Amino acid sequence: MSNQSVQTVGNPGDKLKVVLAVVATIAGLVGFFYLKGQNKPALVAAGALVAGLAFAVLLLWTSTSGRDFLGFAKEAVRETKKVVWPTRKEATQITGIVFAFVLVMAIFLWGTDKILEFTLYDVILGWKQ
């Protein structure tokens, strides 16, 4: 059983900011598709989308949960930079080993199937295929 606590937005002001951010995001999306359907220039439609998203990000940034998420995102990027990625040669070797293992397992399972088929149909039941 896990003892992880679930973080919720507790402050009424933060709740309002999150709701307004969602509304701003939806408004940006609706504005984008509405302006796109009105044959307005693509730059105007994209501007409506960017403006709605930018306003939503600004609202979230001022809330406690938004700052917590920003800290989480920064920590995730920091942890990603610590990953030691394999070289091209290592990745090629590992891929070759996986393909070889899959081939060996396919042959083994095919052989096992044929042995069971022969044993069941030809020896036990006497059916000839």
Give the pLDDT of the chain (129 residues) as one tens digit per residue. Answer: 556 665 665 677 888 888 888 999 999 999 999 988 888 888 888 999 999 999 998 888 888 887 888 889 899 999 999 999 899 999 999 999 999 999 999 999 999 999 999 999 888 887 765
pLDDT given at position 75 = 94
H helix runs in the chain, sequence order = 12-37, 42-61, 64-81, 88-117
The letter for the amino acid at 1 is M
The residue among 31, 33, 28, 96 whose CA lies nearest residue 57 is: 28
Task: Give the pair of three-digit tokens for residue 43.
Answer: 């730059």
Q: How far apart are CA 122 and CA 56, in angstroms?
A: 71
